[in-house]
Amino acid sequence: MTSSMPPPIVDPTRLHDAVIDWFGRAARDLPWRRDATPWAVMVSEFMLQQTPVARVLPVYEAWLERWPTPADLAAEPAGEAVRAWGRLGYPRRALRLHAAATAIVEGHGGQVPTSPEDLRALPGVGEYTAAAIISFAHGGRAVVMDTNIRRVLARVVTGVEFPAAAVTAAERELATSLLPAERAHVWAAATMELGALVCTARSPQCQVCPVAQMCRWRAAGHPAHDGPPRRGQSWEGTDRQCRGRLMAVLRDATGPVAKAALDVVWPDAAQRERALDALVADGLVEPLEDETYALPGT
């Protein structure tokens, strides 16, 4: 079956060399790169989902200092993971990371597994996170496709401003075809860094891009995205903001919190009750006796 994906317009080797050479000069000094153990990479990938690096750094460093191994985290209540997650957002990630640590201890002797199948069987670990652990922690040859990498390949190789909302078969085929036989893990990190620092979503810096002369999107005159509108996520007044206010009270408390203390942080009673019910249903909050609430297991 013939692929519908247009072929790269440059020699892949030239593309690899240009991006990797740039990475050697421009890469940020990030703690999960300095100490790229499987657990460190796993923690960083959970935290970096939909969260900027600057917000992740202090939480990541405190987390690894407190829980340097999966066993350390699994030994504490899940609520402590939620508390330590702080204001990173999407706190269900903390629950999943705690569940993954427990599964690693119970099923893998406390060591993060190395096979894609075993990794994907862990709570909260999908195809991307498994590939990232294999690539960044083990130096393996895996197709890593985060938002930044997908945007770089869409622009440089296919000539469009943004990739599809979800990874397509053709997109994966292209990424696989561009995976170098050697230095695949460096290629993945370098392409990701290029998307984060230069080929950004809103303000691409084509004037300093190491592959500007190879870029099909630039050569076409930067045509605008012609797919479905890309909507930013609202925050003010949303259920997410309400949930965040409730979680902040529970994280800061040293024991169970009375319902009255939660009621005062959000004026819309119906929305507040809906948000609290959702937190309980997600396992992030435990209802206790006498209308008090606490983080799970704390």
Tell me which residues are annotated as active site.
Answer: 45
User: What is the C-alpha separation between 249 and 298, in angstroms, rounded?
Assistant: 14
Three-state DSSP at 203 gives coil
Geometric angle at alpha carbon 187, from 111 and 97, rounded to 5° = 30
Q: In 10 A of CB 14, how many CB atoms?
A: 13
Give whole-number Cα distances, 152 to 139, 148, 149, 195, in Å: 21, 6, 5, 6
Report which of 45, 97, 87 is spatially closest to residue 67, judged by C-alpha positions.
Answer: 97
CB 160 within 8 Å of CB 217 = yes
Q: Quick one: how far is CA 148 from the chain centroid?
A: 11
